[in-house]
Amino acid sequence: MAIPITNYQMAQSTVRKIRPISGSMRMLSKLIRQLPLILLVILNTYGCTSAPTTGPGYLQQNDSIRADYYDVSITTHDGKLLRATVFQPDLKPGQTAPLVVHSHGFGVFRMSGPVSVYGQLVFSGEAALQAWKAGYWVISYDQRGHGDSEGVNRLMSPEHEVRDMSTVIDWSLSNLIRIQRAPDGDPLIGTIGESYSGGAMLLNSRSEPRIDAMVPITTWHDFSGSLAPNAVPKSGWLTTLLMVSNTLNPGSMDPIINESYWEARDGALGPEIEAYLNHRSPQAYCADYQVVTADTLLIQGFRDVAFPLNEALANKACLEQSDGDVRLIGTQGGHLLPFTQWSFPTPGYEIESVVHCDDEALVLTQVVVDWLDEKLKGKTGQAAYIPDLCLTQDYDTGIVLEQIQRGGTTFKLQPTAINSGFTGFFESPLWPLERMLGWFIPNARSPELDTDGGNGTLRPAFTPLYVAKSPQNLVGIPVFQGHLASSTTESDPMVFLGVAVKRANGRYYELISDQVTPLRGIGDHQTEMMAISTHLEPGDIVGTWLFGYHNQYRLPQWMVHGCHTGGVDPASITGFPTETY
């Protein structure tokens, strides 16, 4: 539901670059800013207001216009109404400005004003708001079946939601007359959005030549494979996403989505939903990206356990088939699973405001604006400082590489057994306890490598592989190859494999980038694991960490089928490119 909007006037003199506040002051500032947003959400539940289907008449003239924002309704090709909010820039007589199309993540809603959930708390909205203040037209719209828009939520159907983005562009060019064009008459258009809307722009760009610059954030390449890697559904995120969408947008979901969720709780995706998701995956259309002309800045998180960095790397490879400028910033944040990963100020999603690329600290909202300025406003060199590939290692460090390495040194894994489907269930409560105990337990000055395989009953099985002898960067995509066997009569063993480090300055294990890869079924397996990134100091011990239970995959193990147990033997893992400096 929408609330009535009063005109917002912003003098040109107030437009300035805003740098984020760091540390505890930033957290306090955001917490205070949430108070009016609570009122907005409450008011938003009362009564819909109609919105005009055309732009303001005064845009037909060439007079000066003041910065403002207002709601509009846009009619789709099949007669549904999409609700959008137009952010009008401050323009002098005869002046025009490029257009930025913004939308939202799955289950939620558009940026409805400068003081809104998206405008203040979600990175894509913060960046779109900065673009408006920097002199861009911005239109933020509700995807069909979301917020105030009509229609069925078909989970990014190419025939519906994807096509809707072109409809929003058509409406904007017809009604927001003062959109800037290139000398050949081509309108200058950029797009920005995370997750759900990131998928919209990637899929739409295949057939939409008017898009000149894209910023897809934390989105997918292989929809089915990212939600159910190796045929194991990510029940933690599936439950969260459907609960949010069905609560905020009741009755709007395509029935196949809810029906398939209950099938996924039984431990697998059915063939019908797999085909449904593949039809909505850039992976299925990779060859089409040879003709995509938009320059693309991808932003994806290492700790994102819904759509890990692997998804952005695959999208980057498809986009690089054309002559476009394609760059990738690997952040730490993204989709962070509630009750498992900490995120602030919004539960379940966070992109850090500053990333580090070698010795440079980049303010991400400014990075986006500079990208748009170079690609749409023609400010040559404005985005030259943005690396082709920047990969953060934590929230304070990052490195610049030409490419990310797949595989590397091969390590043999000793036989490792998981004896209970509860193995790993208690890691969350033990996490703070182990760190506290680490303050009192002496550190190992010269740690030795124990090459015996581990067994896991209550705690995950840690199998050490090597000890760092010097400062190193551990960044890459490990490759697992091995045999999964059942330790009981279980016919469908399932375990979860991650890479962990036991820090020399602590007595606890750290799951690198919070990522695990499921292994399922008796037999031989060869699979790429999730991308990881961290920094190692001398004495850090790197190894595999094998779970029988993990919160990312809550339901398929013991809550539905009982305890899945198993073990790997023989096996090897190829990876851990270790750059010493």
Per-residue pLDDT reduced to its tens digit, 248-267 = 999 999 999 999 998 887 77
Cis peptide before 345 (omega within 30 of 0): yes
State the average pLDDT for the chain. 86
Which residues are CB-contacts of 473 (< 8 A; sequence separation ≥ 6)? 393, 399, 533, 535, 536, 578, 579, 581
Q: Summarize the confidence of residues 489-511 as an average pLDDT.
A: 86
Highest mean pLDDT among 36-40, 461-465, 498-502 belongs to 498-502
Arithmetic mean of pLDDT, 543-571: 69
Confidence of residue 422 (pLDDT cuts 50, 70, 90): confident
Half-sphere exposure of 320 (CA within 13 A, CB side): 13
Q: Is the pLDDT of residue 5 over 50?
A: no
Residue 564 has pLDDT above 60, yes or no: no
pLDDT tens digits along 517-541: 999 999 999 999 999 999 999 999 9
pLDDT at 565 over 70: no
Q: What is the pLDDT of residue 9?
A: 31
pLDDT at site 269:
87
Predicted confidence at residue 439, as pLDDT, reads 61
Query: What value does the mean pLDDT take over residues 233-239?
Result: 91
Is the model's pLDDT at 1 over the cut of 80? Answer: no
Flag the least confident range among 72-81, 126-135, 400-409: 400-409
Across 31-43, average pLDDT: 46
| pTM (global) more than 0.85 | yes
Which pLDDT score is estimated for 46?
39
The distance of Cα 198 from the centroid of its chain, to the nearest Å, equals 9
pLDDT of residue 487: 67
Quickly list DSSP for 343-369.
-SSSTTEE--SEEEETTEEEEHHHHHH
Say what percent of the chain tops pLDDT 70: 84
pLDDT score of 528: 95
> What is the per-residue pLDDT for 443?
54
Please return the burial class of 377, using the count of CB atoms within 10 Å of its CB with bins 0-12, 13-18 and 19+. Answer: middle
